[in-house]
Amino acid sequence: MTTLATTARRRDMALPGPLASAFEFLRMMSKKPVGLIGLIGVLFFLFLAYVAPLIVPLQDQVDVTAIYAKPSWAHPLGTDFQGRDVVNQIVYGGGDIITTAILAALFSTLIAITFGSIAATVGGRLDALILAITDVALTIPQLILLIVIAAIFRPSSFFALAVILALLQWPALLRQIRAQVLSLKERDFVEAARSLDLGLLHIIFREMLPNMRSYIVIHFIIAMTLAIYAQAAIMFLGLVPLSGKNWAIMLYFAYNQGALFFRDSFFYLMGPIMAIALFQLSLVWLASGLEDVFNPRLRS
Amino acid sequence: MATITPAQGELQIRTFQRSPLSRARGHLGGLWGRPITQAIAKALLTIFVTSTITFVLIRLMPGSPVEIKIDELMQQSQISYAEAAAQASGLFDINLNAPIHEQYLEYLGNLAHGNLGNSFLSRGTTVMSIILSVLPWTLFAVGTGLLLSFVLGIGLGLVAAYRRNSLLDHAVSTGGSIISSVPGYLIALLIVLIFGIQLRWIPITQMRGAFTSGITPGFTPEFLGDILFHASLPITVFFLTHIGLWILSMRSATLAALEEDHVTVARARGLSDGRITTAYVGRNAVLPLVSQFAIAAGAVVGGAVIIEQIFVYQGVGLRLVASVNQRDYPLMQGIILMTTVCVIVANLIADLLYSKLDPRIGRAGGATGK
């Protein structure tokens, strides 16, 4: 009964193309408030990081008369150790950190998908080798390795930083992709493609990956949270050249210039802390909401 | 980065996979078939690879620390390249004139003897002795926080799953997902900022270090109390950053276990709820978490670096950042290796515990049956 009703309803919805599927997606997202809050949060931060700087003028004039000012109408979160507006820095400080996270997630997902699916489809010795490498990489405390690598190479561009982050964070995802491909491998359509001799690349990229799309999207988001965690950590320790503006560098200066011990600077420190924490939370909640949408078993 | 900022999403899908080696166990049997042999082989391989990575990082990369040190020495003391190179090889404890593969073998040989070289800054102090003086503090704080969070998180997760969709369940799961999404170092900063500075409830400056300097070490109540006092903030942060992970994993594992047929059968047989909860549901649900615990141990040792920095706790993380700032490469190298060894040991314990807890593993191999 109920299944019939759902299929009927879905057929109605599917009529006018992409707009309807977007609407259907939103309808399913809104069933679980956590996912919707996550989506709104992520959209808010993306807007803040990429659109707001185009609207709000940059204020990075040093103002010695307003060092560590209390929150006021002119400076809603107060000012920093050089008298610059904190809100303005929050607006300008999201772009780099989010771009790096997206790039790192992209690279690590590519590594994980390529080698994870090769391991699972080819199997045998190659599978054992790739898994052994993955296990080793999983065991080394990655943040410690990252700190040492950052100390030696001092990555100055966010592209270089993204590559280093990606090289460290692929293993967990690779194991999951491999497990996923292993289960897809037994399905009839893959079997059919194999008997048609369509080639390994075709099977992986045309047959399997489209079936793992939702799964990959979710893990892309999780990979972003890991990248933000790690890059904010090394920036907070001052291990990357502290040029440019971003939330973690703000935090570094706030912490190391002694803002911690000015009671009026509470919001100067809370600004970047909250920006990073809330963005992380939004990403995690978006991922969890998407999981419910994509996984019909969890939906009921 | 398995520096797990654990994510709810990841937890629910995480498919638990044993390595292909253990899947082959059934066919091979004998000594190689024993999980313990494989685990030790894997551990040795990991140590070997890690030491190779650090060797490559320190020695082979363009602009490597050795080259930088030689330049530094040349400029500082106005000496020739050869002299500077000779000094540098003494500092790094490697013979720069030997071909690279011999340097590598010598380096591995030294490692096998537990010789990690000397620290740059405090001449004559071995890296090993420095690490051994700080590592126990980190392991104590990390281990205590992780164990407390594991025990309490499993309890809360089990209760939340049993009372699915109750107010308690929603509170516990939402709270767990919020707290596990926020990076640990931000939680540490928030504690310092709110309770240390704004409210002044916690004397953060007195809590720095591993213990108060005047006190005599020993198994006296004052000393143990003092250690706990100094470790309490790091322990709290390690506890808070991981409890969400255990709650959410245990909750979803319990929900899955509750639907198993054997639980329904046990109910039909009229077994008591307590017996079903512990022996039929709890034991199965907790299994995958034991392996996660080992993974978390690796992540938390990494995360400890910044948390120790914030609380100025005298552990291996504080030492690592100091060595990075002073460019003390042998010490950095040693810290990477020793923390990896700690994670490996945690993994080994988890593997052993897993095979003890899961009766299926013992039986399937035949040779390893209990």
The one-letter code for the residue type at A114 is: T
- Interface contact A140-B57, CB threshold 8 A: no
Q: Does A224 have pLDDT greater than 90?
A: yes
Round to whole Å and give the CA distance between A149 and A234. 10
**Is B165 within 8 Å of chain A by CB?**
no
Round to whole Å and give the CA distance between B312 and B141. 13
**Is B332 within 8 Å of chain A by CB?**
yes
- Dihedral sign of CA atoms B314, B316, B322, B325 in order: negative
- Interface contact A280-B182, CB threshold 8 A: yes
Measured between CB atoms, which of A140, A148, A178 is closest to B332? A148
| Chain A residues within an 8 Å CB radius of B192 | 260
Which residue in chain B has the smallest CA separation from A138? B2
Distance from CA of A73 to the nearest CA of B (A): 22
Determine the pLDDT at residue A11. 46
Mutation site for B-interface testing, chosen from A108, A138, A142, A148 by largest number of B Cβ within 10 Å:
A148
Q: Cβ atoms within 10 A of the Cβ of A240, count?
A: 24
Round to whole Å and give the CA distance between A236 and B269. 58
Percent of chain A with pLDDT over 90: 19
- Interface contact B65-A147, CB threshold 8 A: no
Q: Does A249 have pLDDT greater than 70?
A: yes
Neighbouring C-alpha atoms within 13 Å toward the C-beta of A256: 12
| Chain A residues within an 8 Å CB radius of B186 | 273, 276-277
In three-state secondary structure terms, B118 is strand
**Is B302 within 8 Å of chain A by CB?**
yes
Round to whole Å and give the CA distance between A123 and A181. 11
Round to whole Å and give the CA distance between B332 and B178. 34
- Interface contact B197-A260, CB threshold 8 A: yes
Distance from CA of B309 to the nearest CA of A (A): 9
Q: What is the interface size between A and B, counted as CB pairs within 8 Å? A: 198
Distance from CA of B163 to the nearest CA of A (A): 17
Round to whole Å and give the CA distance between B231 and B137. 8
Determine the pLDDT at residue B11. 37
Mutation site for A-interface testing, chosen from B1, B19, B309, B318 by largest number of A Cβ within 10 Å:
B1
Q: Does A5 have pLDDT greater than 70?
A: no
Determine the pLDDT at residue A109. 92
Determine the pLDDT at residue A103. 95
Query: Going residue by residue through chain B (370 aa), what tens digit of pLDDT does each one get?
Result: 333 343 433 333 333 344 444 444 444 445 556 667 777 888 888 888 888 888 888 776 656 667 777 777 777 777 777 777 777 777 766 666 677 778 788 888 888 887 777 777 666 788 888 888 888 889 889 889 999 999 999 999 988 988 888 888 889 988 998 998 899 899 998 888 888 877 778 777 777 777 776 666 667 777 777 888 888 899 999 999 899 989 998 998 888 888 888 888 888 887 777 778 877 788 788 887 887 887 777 777 878 888 998 888 888 989 998 888 877 888 888 888 888 888 888 888 877 777 777 766 554 443 333 3
Q: Does A114 have pLDDT greater than 70?
A: yes
Which of residues 80 through 139 in chain B touch A, CB cutoff 8 A?
none
Determine the pLDDT at residue A242. 67
**R_g (Cα) of chain A, nearest Å:** 23
Tokens of A66: 């307003």
| Chain A residues within an 8 Å CB radius of B305 | 143-144, 147, 233, 237
Round to whole Å and give the CA distance between A167 and A160. 11
Determine the pLDDT at residue B369. 34
Lowest mean pLDDT among A12-21, A208-217, B199-208: A12-21
CA separation, residue B289 to residues B114, B189, B351 (Å): 33, 29, 12
Distance from CA of B146 to the nearest CA of A (A): 16
pTM of the complete model: 0.81
Question: What interface predicted TM-score (ipTM) does this complex get?
Answer: 0.82
| Chain B residues within an 8 Å CB radius of A145 | 53, 336
The one-letter code for the residue type at A283 is: L
Determine the pLDDT at residue B114. 78
- Interface contact A34-B177, CB threshold 8 A: yes
Distance from CA of A247 to the nearest CA of B (A): 12
Mutation site for A-interface testing, chosen from B11, B181, B340 by largest number of A Cβ within 10 Å:
B181
Determine the pLDDT at residue A165. 92
| Chain A residues within an 8 Å CB radius of B181 | 225, 277, 280-281, 283-285
Determine the pLDDT at residue B60. 66
pLDDT, tens only, A130-167:
988 888 888 888 888 898 888 888 887 888 899 999 98
Alpha helices, DSSP H only, in B259-315?
A: 261-268, 273-275, 283-311
Q: Does A108 have pLDDT greater than 90?
A: yes
Instruction: Considering only residues A229 and B352, tell me which one the structure prediction assigns the higher pLDDT.
Output: A229
Measured between CB atoms, which of B20, B182, B185 is closest to A127? B20
Round to whole Å and give the CA distance between A153 and A141. 18
Q: Cβ atoms within 10 A of the Cβ of B303, count?
A: 29
Q: Which residues pair with B118 in a beta bridge?
A: B126
Identify the CA nearest to B55 among candidates B13, B104, B17: B104
**Is B232 within 8 Å of chain A by CB?**
no
Round to whole Å and give the CA distance between B140 and B143. 5
Q: What is the mean pLDDT of residues A81-100?
A: 83
Measured between CB atoms, which of A239, A280, A288 is closest to B5? A280
Residue A71 CA, distance from chain mean position: 31
**Is B56 within 8 Å of chain A by CB?**
no
Which residue in chain B has the smallest CA separation from A295? B13
Q: Given pLDDT bands bounded at 50, 70 and 90, which one contains residue A228? A: very high
Round to whole Å and give the CA distance between A194 and A200. 8
Instruction: Considering only residues A222 and A22, tell me which one the structure prediction assigns the higher pLDDT.
Output: A222
Q: What is the DSSP string of B320-370?
A: HHHHHHTT-HHHHHHHHHHHHHHHHHHHHHHHHHHHHH-HHHHHHTSTT--
Q: How far apart are the first and last CA of chain A?
A: 15
